[in-house]
Structure 1
Amino acid sequence: MNMMKLTLNNYFVYLSKLDRLWQKKTELSCYAVFLVLIIFWCRIKWNRRFIDRFAAKLPGPQSYPLIGSGLEFTGTLQQIMDKIIQLTEKFGSEPFKVWLGSTLAVMLTKPEDLEIIFNSSKALKKDEIYNFLINILGEGLSTAPVYKWKQHRKIITPIFNTSFINQLLPIFNKKTSIFIRNLQKELGKTETFDIFDYIISSSVDTICETSMGYNCDTQSDDKFVFSNAINESTKVICSRMCKPWLYPNFIFNIYAKITGWQQICKKCHELPDQIIKEKKFEHAQRKTMENTSKSEKNRFKVFLDKLLELNDQGANFSDKDLKDQVLTMMIAGSETSALTISFCILMLAIHQDIQDKVYDEIYEVMENGDQTLTIEDTVKFVYLDQCIKETLRLYPSLPIIMRHIEEDVKITNYTIPKGTTVMISSIGTHHLPEFYPKPWEFNPENFDPENVAKRHKYCFIGFSGGPRNCIGMKYAMLSMKVTLSTFLRNYSVHTSCKMSDIKLKFEVLMKSVYGYPVTIRPRVRTPSYQLKMKNKNL
């Protein structure tokens, strides 16, 4: 019995020693892990020492570990946009910092600083946040890495020459005529309607035909599925941009399943995939013809035709490259123009005196006839041009443009260190009171040539700036002039909305919270000044 007790005692002593040994090993392991974490943290801090020193010099909103300034940008899409505007108004033209998680972002509004960043070879790279757009846009000119952007921009730029843009005018005229005809159902109604619904439909029609030679008029279901998918995609992308905790892919993948992200992406790509497949087949058939007819040689070629021809000449666009470029043009080109036109029509509805002045100019150029608009006519729409640019100043489609600094860049008062993100605030620059007195008022005289000459070139960045500016600027301006001038020739536009009623929201692009509510009446085709003189004589 005593021997058994002794054996048991020895066993328990052994277990006790083993437990103490295990505790020591666990304790040592914890110390080792803790030490590794400290070393890792110290290494990160050492590598980031220049960024942290630079950040210490700048003012900015409160930030916290891991999420940075993320709490500043919570809430509704309107509250996020309000916060961006509040920050830019608070700091004016001085740089300030915003922590995007652990990434330092510097907000710039000063035109001299913008010029340096836009034209620096060290700041051509789009910020990593643009990777959130790749599932929708692919790697087109807007999102491509610098090496790919340089190759493709050099090849694609000649396509957007004046001759090609001018050849698109018949398509612009045709689609605008359909837009005018569709609006007739709103005549005689006293309740307002959202003009954006009509404009985005026309814009998608136009971009499909000019980019891919595809007529959406007969495929309205395809068009609406595509438009709705784009709208849904921007909401998801915007939500991710404003929430640093959604930046890691493994977390976003969970969020993506909840929001049906994969289905949204699929719907965005269905229409372009279908059209590109058809156009490639047609192109291949034309190539196999031994003798190309004269009519084929003179056939008008749209953007996709041009890309396929460039491929024949050695451009080496892969199928994915072709799709990415077309997607970028379709998505970026349709909604940005539609938003600007909608805002411009709303501004003219609010400011009847300015609307009268625009119509007077159109009447002076076109008179009372129904003749088709020509390129020469659009060149004469000088005041309309000013109204479009003033709309882009007040309500830039892209309120924030982001670049990644690959090497130190010296701006006017600071040197921005490598690894920093730069946020170029077009909404901030466009509302600096030192350049635009009463910055939240709609005043097309801001773009009178004399006033433009007094300001720095980068006081207006409605189409970005530098070598990575918007390649479709001429396309956009011509299409907007055609749409607006034709609309105003046929209808006068009215609204009970006031400037103070307009609230903005951030959905990657900047939009109106309450849409663009207007009513329309048939245009009395007499210049406003003649009507005023007639009423005065009576």
Structure 2
Amino acid sequence: MTWLKEDVFSLVPHAVPYVFLTAIIGLVITWFIRRMLSKSMLNPIPGPRGLPILGREFFQVVKGLSYMWGLITPMWRVWLGPIPAVQIQRASEAEVILSSNKHIDKSRDYTFLHPWLGTGLLTATGPKWRSRRKLLTPAFHFKILEDFVEIFSKQSDVMVQKLEKKADGKQFDIFPYVTLCALDIICETAMGRCVHAQDNSDSDYVEALYRIGALVQQRQARPWLQPDILFKLLGYAKEHDACLKVLHDMSYSCIKERRVQFQERKLRKKKQDGGNEDDAFVGKKERLAFLDLLLEAAETDPSITDTDIREEVDTFMFEGHDTTAAAINWSLYLLGTHPEIQARVHEELDTVFGDEDRPVTMSDLRELKTTENCIKEALRLFPSVPFIGRELTEEVVIDNYRIPKGTTIMIVPFRIHRDPEQFPRPEVFDPDRFLAENCKDRHPYAYVPFSAGPRNCIGQKFALLEEKLLLCSILRKFKVESDIRREDLKLLGELILRPEDGNFVKLTPRRK
């Protein structure tokens, strides 16, 4: 029997390749069967066979197909390589996904953000997402937002001073000025640290932040960069990891610094209040950052680690500057091409501020209804986030079509906002669409620039306040003009929707 045992074991090394090959064949067959089942379920939904063009053209291709297939059906399907995707471009269909507490998983594109953001609020799902949402909601309490108005105002003053040097009636790209201002604001409000991006746009942190965004977008749009091994072999991973080190080092440094300040503040308040720490976090004497809320939570919940805190701080940094900057830039572009509406905004600003050159207050912002409606209408025409992606973890039925588990649902605000049934003359810039009397009969999911439902943007009040203040700071000082026709715009739909060639405008002082 010994010789038999030895012969059997001698065959093992030769059998390994066959076992491996059999396993691969089994996986391929399984994948093929699943794909055929998905295909058979999705075939009844109208749509093209596949999407052959990817990369920077992706948004233009989807936009073109949306217009074409939108004439046939409000919902269409396509294959992105081996992945089935269903595009939704009408409010009633979007509601099925966005209003659900089940369909909350982000699409696989978001996984390329994991090395940077981990599984923070943007990318988390299930119980972790629910606990983080509950934890972070108090960070956007109106008392805290009111404290941030001072930061908005301070940084907008820096921006306006720089724009004064460009206010000579000559065309220039205003997009970088607004973006760097928004970056200064989110750094100070999220981390409690000034990075002076407007004065030092070449800093390692600013450059790493912009470069990591570009690398993530490239990886999302180019299938050959998505496998880790190819991302590494093609040389992208080295730069990606170097950027991550700069960004994460800054976040951990801020956490360490703010924790020391947090403990000192806690001890000081204890002495001042005779041991009473009620309202210690929201306190009026010291302006606190979002980071402080996380440190407060970590005090009572030891399971919240520095990595957890860093994930949320980095998520605020990612979500809190580019999207806001895009909204302000699109507002400036549209007002620059509609001088009659800009005149209404100037009239409102003069009514609120007169000739006073004073900082903006929260009560001022509440009065700027026309300004707010202009921003909302700009976000309707040019939503900062062009796609909302969800991956189905279970089958769903929409418009009597069965959509299988594993399908990517692409909700496209750019198209939903152009439904003529919800927005007559959809391509016309008309801020009065957002007057109360014009909104009352509109479908609740017809306007989703901040998403909607359980996973709506937690920071939308913060964003709208910042956008109003920065826009009014510019328009209090300047008239803006744009010569670029809408039909000549080249839209780039990457992580945000922006004009590919920048936002070229002319500024002239309102008062000399």
Asked if these proteins are the same fold (TM beyond 0.5), I'd say: yes
C-alpha separation between the residues in 1 aligned to 2:305 and 2:492? 37
1:133 Cα shift? 1.0
- The range that moved more, 446-455 or 150-159, is 446-455
Q: Distance in 2 between matches of 1:290 and 1:359?
A: 45
**Alpha-carbon distance, 1:289 to partner:** 6.0
Q: 1:307 aligns with which of 269, 294, 302?
A: 294
- 1:520-535 alignment, distance < 5 Å: 520-524=507-511
Q: Is the 8 A contact 1:195 1:342 kept in 2?
A: yes
Amino acid aligned to 1:72:
I
Q: Deviations over 1:119-155 (max 9, x none)?
A: 2222111122211011222322111232211111111
CA contact under 8 A between 2:120 and 2:315: conserved in structure 1? yes
Partner Cα separation in structure 2 for residue 33 and residue 286 of structure 1: 61
Hey, which of these two has a bigger chunk of helix by percent?
1
Q: Do residues 192 (structure 1) and 171 (structure 2) align?
A: yes
- Greater shift after overlay, 491-500 or 219-228? 219-228
The residue number in structure 2 matching 1:489 is: 476
Query: Within 1, Cα distance between the matches of 2:198 and 2:350?
Result: 35
Answer whether contact 2:148 2:189 (CA < 8 A) is retained.
Answer: yes
What displacement does 1:286 show? 4.2
Unaligned residue ranges in structure 1 (runs of 5+): 1-25, 64-68, 526-538
Q: Counterpart of 2:8?
A: none
Instruction: Determine whether 1:100 maps to 2:80.
Output: yes
Q: Does 1:208 align with 2:178?
A: no
The answer for the alignment partner of 2:104 in structure 1 is 124
Which of 228, 236, 246 is residue 225 of structure 2 equivalent to?
Answer: 246
The correspondence for 1:325, drawn from 287, 295, 312, is 312
Q: 1:115 aligns with which of 72, 81, 95?
A: 95
Higher mean alpha-carbon deviation, 381-390 vs 248-257, is at 248-257
Aligned twin of 1:73: 54
Aligned to 1:470: 457
Question: What is the identity, as a one-letter code, of the residue corresponding to 1:353?
Answer: E
SS in 1 for 2:309: helix
Aligned to 2:428, which of 441, 444, 466? Answer: 441
Q: Is the 8 A contact 2:328 2:471 kept in 1?
A: yes
Matched-pair contact (CA < 8 Å) for 2:389–2:408: yes
Of the structure 1 ranges 292-301 and 106-115, higher mean CA displacement relative to structure 2 is found in 292-301
Measure, in 1, the Cα distance between the counterparts of 2:26 and 2:310.
Answer: 46
Q: Match for 2:213: what amino acid? A: T
Letter of the structure 2 residue corresponding to residue 43 of structure 1: T
- What is the match of residue 147 of structure 1? 127
What root-mean-square deviation, in Å, do the aligned CA atoms of Structure 1 and Structure 2 show? 2.7
Pair 290,203 (structure 1): closer, same or farther in 2 beyond 3 Å: closer
Deviates more, 1:315-324 or 1:508-517: 315-324
Q: Secondary structure at the match of 1:125?
A: coil
Q: Is the 8 A contact 1:204 1:223 kept in 2?
A: no
In structure 2, the CA distance between the partners of 1:440 and 1:315, relative to structure 1 (3 Å rule), is: farther
Q: Deviations over 1:388-428 (max 9, x none)?
A: 01111111111111111111222233222222111111112
Q: Larger C-alpha radius of gyration, 1 or 2? A: 1
8 Å CA contact retained: 2:181, 2:198:
no
Q: Is the 8 A contact 2:180 2:197 kept in 1?
A: no
Whether the 8 Å contact between 2:479 and 2:508 is mirrored in structure 1 is yes
Q: Does 1:513 align with 2:500?
A: yes
Q: Which residue of 2 is the match for residue 421 of structure 1?
A: 408
Alpha-carbon distance in 1 for matches of 2:385, 2:234: 25
Rounded Cα–Cα distance in structure 1 between residues aligned with 2:250 and 2:173? 26
Shift of 1:519: 1.8
For the Cα contact (< 8 Å) 2:377–2:429, is it kept in 1?
yes
Q: C-alpha offsets along residues 152-210 of structure 1, whole Å, 9 cap, x if unaligned? A: 1111112212222122111111111221122111122x431111111111111111111
The one-letter code matched in structure 2 to 1:88 is: S
Q: Which residue of 1 aligns with 2:440?
A: 453
Contact 1:101 1:245 in 2 (8 A): no
CA distance in 2, matches of 1:201, 1:107: 34
Higher mean C-alpha displacement, 195-204 vs 41-50: 41-50
Aligned equivalents of 1:101, 1:402: Cα separation in 2? 16
Indicate the SS of the match to 1:458: coil
Q: Tell me what 2:61 maps to.
A: 83
State whether residues 141 and 152 of structure 1, in contact with CA within 8 Å, keep that contact through their aligned partners in structure 2: yes
- Asked if residue 370 in structure 1 is aligned to residue 351 in structure 2, the reply is no
The normalised TM-score by structure 2 is 0.88
CA deviation map 1:67-107 (0-9, x unaligned): xx3x2225xx2x32211210111122522122233121111
Deviation at 1:320, TM superposition (A): 0.8
Shift of 1:356: 0.4
- Paired residue type of 1:255: L
Amino-acid identity (%): 32
Is the Cα contact below 8 Å between 2:116 and 2:244 reproduced in 1?
yes
Paired residue secondary structure (2:196): helix
- Structure 2 match to 1:134: 114
Decide whether aligned partners of structure 1 residues 127 and 292 sit closer, same or farther in structure 2, where only a CA change above 3 A counts: farther
Q: 1:523 and 1:311, CA in 2 relative to 1: closer, same or farther beyond 3 A?
A: same
Distance in 2, matches of 1:389 and 1:315, equals 41
1:161 aligns with 2:141: yes
Q: Is the 8 A contact 1:111 1:458 kept in 2?
A: yes
Q: List alignment gaps of at least 5 residues for structure 2.
A: 1-13
Q: Would you say the 8 A contact 1:409–1:416 is kept in 2?
A: yes
Q: Output the CA distance in 2 between the equivalents of 1:474 and 1:324.
A: 21
Q: CA deviation digits over 1:19-59, x for unaligned, max 9? A: xxxxxxx9x99999887666544433444554222221123
2:74/2:90 contact within 8 Å kept: yes
> Contact (CA 8 Å) 1:94, 1:108: kept in 2 or not?
yes
Shift in CA distance, 193/55, structure 1 to aligned 2, threshold 3 Å: same
What are the equivalent positions in structure 2 for 1:228-247 lying under 5 Å apart?
Answer: 228-247=207-226
Amino acid of the residue matched to residue 253 of structure 1? Answer: K
Residue 245 of structure 1 and its aligned partner are, at CA, apart by: 3.2
Shift of 1:225: 3.2
Shift of 1:502: 1.5
Q: Which residue of 2 aligns with 1:264?
A: 243
Q: Report the alpha carbon displacement of residue 281 of structure 1 after superposing the two structures with TM.
A: 2.7
The answer as to whether partners of 1:172 and 1:206 remain within 8 angstroms in 2 is: yes
Of residues 269-278 and 513-522 in structure 1, the stretch that sits farther from structure 2 once superposed is: 269-278
- 461-470 vs 212-221, greater mean Cα deviation: 212-221
Q: Which amino acid aligns with 2:474?
A: F
- Aligned 8 A contact 1:430 1:459 in 2: yes
Q: Aligned AA for 1:212?
A: M
Query: Residues 35, 258 of structure 1: CA spacing in aligned structure 2 closer, same or farther, 3 A cutoff?
Result: closer
In structure 1, how many angstroms separate the alpha carbons of the residues matched to 2:197 and 2:421?
50
CA contact (8 A) 2:100 2:454 kept: no
CA 1:251/1:459 → structure 2, altered by over 3 Å: closer, same or farther? same
Q: Distance in 1 between matches of 2:203 and 2:376?
A: 29
- Say which SS state the counterpart of residue 121 (structure 1) adopts: coil
- Counterpart position of 2:45: 58
Query: What SS class does the counterpart of residue 320 from structure 2 fall into?
Result: helix
33 and 163 in structure 1: CA distance in 2 versus 1, 3 angstrom threshold: closer
Hey, what does 2:371 align to over in structure 1? 384
- Normalising by the residue count of structure 1, what TM-score does the alignment of the two structures yield? 0.84
